[in-house]
A = this chain, B = another copy of it.
């Protein structure tokens, strides 16, 4: 069925249990769904934009309050909404990174951090991961020393993924930040996989900047996100324009250079705002989410040859599995080849695994009910049994 022109209705979330690695935290709440219908039109939030004409000053709808709530939620001082976490990275990189500067990332950094650095002419330098795929304070200190020794420059910034995209591992970010601060290196915490689904306390972590993703983890439409900063950094990252034009002598008030003025003028922002009360509440139930993730992971571990590549026990709902010696062995002989796996899952109403993947793949149980998690766990076991894999 088409919803418009040649565009099929999307009903994945209504018809299936979706364990896609990146989609779980971005499903809209019912409140967001109502808000996007009311605020779908382009500049819908601008009806009551008055002097000084900036998004975060708008009172109706209460965008001003939302900005303050966001900062408080992350326990930092000033927050702005941005068109996706990547645009938050870009704003911070644009403020601190100059041509040729070495910029710290990690071996598990998301590619958008690398692009933000590359866009400013900086050189990404990776902190290696440990054998168990964690970034450690020691490795951080060693890397900083190495970079300073080699380049003679102290990196102007460290991009640190709170939970990484590859393994869903939770890194010791407070300790790493402490090390970086010992060298006066400010830290941007990439909370794309944490802000909005688990508690994140920017001040406790010591982060100078916390970036979150609306569409990844805050039940908001894309592209949306948040950039929250400490007061002492706000004047830098959120500096206002100092341009004065040569002929007309125009100046541009309090528009912020890195924000490019206003950022989310309609449906994306209102979706974030409408979901926010539920999001603020749901982070308190992270334990339940972890227990569901653990339940599915433990089922997978019972399938002979299956290896959980992520941290164990799980500290996040995004998990990376290696089934090269289980489901992939089946795929070799199955008439559907690797597609047998996603196809078997689909027959059971489960979607979100890349079709054809039977070696290394990821899934995310975030937002499943306990019953759904149990069902997914059982489904993996059934597919294993049906295909002759032994289950302990």
Contact B246 A124 (CB under 8 A): yes
Known A10-B44, A41-B27, A242-B118; judge A268-B267 contact (CB<8 A): yes
Q: Chain A 1-44, CB within 8 Å of chain B: the 1/0 string?
A: 00111111111110000001011011110011111111111111
A126 at the interface (CB under 8 A from B): yes
Contact A43 B215 (CB under 8 A): yes
Q: Smallest CB-CB separation from A217: which chain B residue?
A: B42
State which of A108-116, A170-178, A320-328 sits at the interface with chain B.
A108-116
A38 to B46, CA, bound (A): 25
Contact A223 B265 (CB under 8 A): yes
Which residues on the B side are within 8 Å of A260 (C-beta)? 84, 86-87, 89-90, 112, 115-116, 119
Contact B3 A35 (CB under 8 A): yes
Known A7-B273, A38-B10, A268-B267; judge A247-B126 contact (CB<8 A): yes
State which of A203-211, A251-259, A300-308, A376-384 sits at the interface with chain B.
A251-259
Chain A residues 235-268 with CB under 8 Å of chain B are 241-243, 245-248, 250, 252, 255, 257-258, 260-261, 263-268
Contact B126 A245 (CB under 8 A): yes
The contact size tier of chain A is: 35 or more
A62 at the interface (CB under 8 A from B): yes
Which residues on the B side are within 8 Å of A257 (C-beta)? 115, 118-119
- Cβ 8 A contact of A222, one of B7, B60, B268, B273: B268
Other A-B contacts than A23-B42, A84-B260, A118-B241, 14 sampled, CB-CB below 8 A, are A6-B61, A23-B47, A36-B40, A42-B220, A43-B216, A83-B83, A107-B248, A111-B255, A116-B260, A117-B243, A119-B258, A126-B245, A126-B248, A215-B265
A-B residue pairs in contact (CB < 8 Å), sample of 28: A3-B38, A5-B277, A8-B60, A8-B61, A10-B38, A10-B61, A23-B42, A26-B41, A27-B41, A33-B37, A33-B40, A42-B215, A44-B222, A50-B354, A83-B83, A83-B84, A86-B261, A89-B260, A94-B119, A111-B250, A114-B241, A114-B245, A115-B241, A118-B257, A127-B247, A221-B266, A221-B268, A222-B268
**A interface with B by C-beta (< 8 Å):** 3-13, 20, 22-23, 25-28, 31-47, 50, 60-62, 65, 83-84, 86-87, 89-90, 94, 105, 107, 111-112, 114-119, 124-128, 213-216, 219-223, 241-243, 245-248, 250, 252, 255, 257-258, 260-261, 263-268, 270-271, 273-274, 276-277, 351, 354
